[in-house]
Structures are given as structure tokens and as C-alpha cells.
Amino acid sequence: MATFSRVHQQVRQYEVFARKARDEPLRQVGSVVAPDDDLAQAYARATYDEERWVELVIVPTAAVIRLWAPGEDGSGSG
Amino acid sequence: MSLATLVQSLADNKQLLGLRYAEWCTAAPTLEADIAGAAMGLDDLGHSRVLHGSLRELGEAEAERDPTSPEQYLNVAYLDHPWTDWSQFVAANAVLDTAFTLMIEALANGNVEVLRSRLRKMLQEEHYHYLHGRSWLRQGGSNPEAGRAFADAVEWFGPEGGEVDQFHQAGQLAAGVAGLRSTLGERVACAPPPVPTDWARWNPLRRRTRPGSIDSRTFEMLRGLEEKRYMPVGERKDG
């Protein structure tokens, strides 16, 4: 038998973004955890397709470059 | 055998595949896979409904089934019994589901108008089944169940020069047996090559060599008898 672990050995987190109309901005609706892009797409679709999105995208969380976080002053104005 | 019988076999297999997926929707290795299993099960039961509903337009009302014979279900042997190991789910998801999708593609790109128009949405949904199966198959390493699923898929496509190739020549199917086999091999690159099939024992209606049929519990569920056990006594009807 092939072996599968209950929790994947190496997983990545992906942020899920969606919108319902073309004139709306994408907004974050949640996240999924998966070992690769294939499974992340399958999981995002299975988990978040209950609503009628016109667009659904996933982004590896590691690809997000944060300029500043809540509580940090990154505006440059002092 | 008519094209409608092939579509009926596709519909029966989709119904059972959906049911088998559903049996695992609280038992997969991760919660995400539970949810994906439930979603894929719903998809395949819906596909089965649409395919069964297409039979009338294909000029053939769905044949009356003998309500006492599970052999009336035109399913591959792989779906006869519930799966006892996740590797069986993975192999079915990666190999068998993809084999059925290839036939849907061949029908949707063929010259039968009712199938061209109705089967498109299935292909969009099946893309995610493919991604799910492919990823899990890659993660598990060698999976002997994939070989069994591949062998059943080869049997289900049928022999070269058989009616599937005739439907292909007539334009009803956009692919023939050789094309279906080779594309399946390409899509599920992890699967071993198909075993030779003893076509002398092949049943052209059930599209399989092995005798046997779905287990009695599954059969009773399909007939609605399992559910009747939970009905209030006064509402039960015989049959």
C-alpha cells in the first residue's frame, strides 16, 4: 500500500481571494494549506465555491511582501 | 451496442464513483481532503444525473433495470466494493476519474449536439478532480492500486477496432481507443503501463472482463432501501 501521512510533511499556506462582480476589488476570503499548487487549487475550489464568484485566485502566503503590519508605522511620515 | 449504452455505462460509473467518494468524506487523511471528497462526490452524482438524462435525446429511453440484479449496473470492477484504504481512493481519483473525463471530452468534442452542449460544465469541474488526484498520487509514492485502476480503465475503453473506434470513425467520439489509452498514460504519469486484457472474456455491455457486481449494501442504497430503514414505520412502503 502507498503511504500517506495524516498531516502532509511539507505544506504551504495559500491566501484565497475572490470577488463577485467585475467592478469589485478582489478581497481575501480565507486560506488553504496544501503541499503543492495542484492540491491548493482543488482545496480552494472545494472549500470556497459555495458563492457565485466571478473570480477566485490563490496566492502562496510566502509570496506576499508585507510593507508594514498593524501597529507598525510604515507610512514614512514619522 | 449503441452510443447510448456507452453513455449509460459512463453515467453508472459516475454515480458509483460519486458514492464511493462520499463514503470517504469523513475519513480522508486531512480535513481539506474530506471537503474535497464531498465536493467531488456531489460533482460526480450531478454528472451522472445529466448523463442519464441525455439518454432520451440520444434516441434511447433508459432501459428498464431488473430491480433485483446488481449486474444491471454497467460499472467497472474497481467500483464493486467500498474502498478500505486511502490509496484506493487516490488511484480511483487520479486514474479512473480521469479515464471517464477523457470519454466525456471525446463526447463533448464529437458530433452529437446534445452531448456537445451538455457536457462542457463537467469538464470544468473535472479539472479540479484531476489536480486533486494527481497531487495525492504523487505524494504517496508507488501505488499498486493505480495499476488496478489503469487496467480497469483500459478494459472500460474497450478493444481496439471495437465499437468505441467505430464511434470515433463516425465522428461521435473525438478520440478512439488508442488515443484514450495514450492520453490517460500521459495525464497520470505515475501509473504503470496497463496489463494485457483477455478480450475473449470481455463483456461488451458491462465493459469489463471480471464477473461480479456491486456489493449488496451499495445496491440497496442505490435502490433507496437503505434509507427506508430510517423512515418512520407508518411511512414505509413495501418494495
DSSP B162-201: SHHHHHHHTTSSSS-HHHHHHHHHHHTTTSPPPPP--GGG
pLDDT of the residue at A38 = 96
Residue B140 near residue B90 (C-beta atoms within 8 A): yes
Over its C-alpha atoms, chain A yields an Rg (Å, rounded) of 16
pLDDT of the residue at B238 = 53
Q: CB distance from A49 to chain B under 8 Å?
A: yes
Alpha-carbon B136 to chain mean position: 19
Alpha-carbon B206 to chain mean position: 12
What is the spatial distance between Cα B80 and Cα B16, in angstroms, rounded to a whole number?
9
Give the nearest chain A residue to B128 (CA atoms). A42
What is the spatial distance between Cα B41 and Cα B224, in angstroms, rounded to a whole number?
18
Beta bridge partners of A27: A18
User: Does residue A77 have a pLDDT over 60?
Assistant: no
Query: What are the strands of the beta sheet with A55-60, ordered from one edge?
Result: A27-34, A12-19, A55-60
What is the spatial distance between Cα B120 and Cα B221, in angstroms, rounded to a whole number?
29
**Helix, strand, coil tally for chain B in percent (to 5):** 60, 0, 35
Percent of all residues in chain B with a pLDDT value above 70, rounded to a whole number: 92
Q: CB distance from A20 to chain B under 8 Å?
A: no
What is the spatial distance between Cα B44 and Cα B35, in angstroms, rounded to a whole number?
14
Residue B87 to residue A46, Cβ atoms within 8 A? no
Residue A5 to residue B29, Cβ atoms within 8 A? yes
Alpha-carbon B156 to chain mean position: 9
One-letter amino acid at B201 equals R
What is the spatial distance between Cα B233 and Cα B157, in angstroms, rounded to a whole number?
45
Per-residue pLDDT tens, chain B, 239 aa: give them.
789 999 999 999 999 999 999 999 999 998 999 999 999 999 999 999 999 999 988 877 656 667 778 888 999 999 999 999 999 999 999 999 999 999 999 999 999 999 999 999 999 999 999 999 999 999 888 888 999 999 999 999 999 999 999 999 999 999 999 999 999 999 998 655 666 778 999 999 999 999 999 999 898 888 877 777 777 777 766 54
C-alpha distances (whole Å) from B60 to each of A10, A66, B54, B72, B192 are: 51, 61, 9, 16, 37
pLDDT digit string, tens, across residues B121-173: 999 999 999 999 999 999 888 888 999 999 999 999 999 999 999 999 999 99
Sequence-ordered alpha helix ranges (H) in B57-204? 86-91, 97-108, 113-118, 120-139, 144-157, 163-169, 177-187
pLDDT digit string, tens, across residues A28-72: 999 999 999 999 999 999 999 889 999 999 999 999 999 999 988
Interface of B with A in 24-63 (CB under 8 A): 29-30, 32-33, 35-36, 38-40
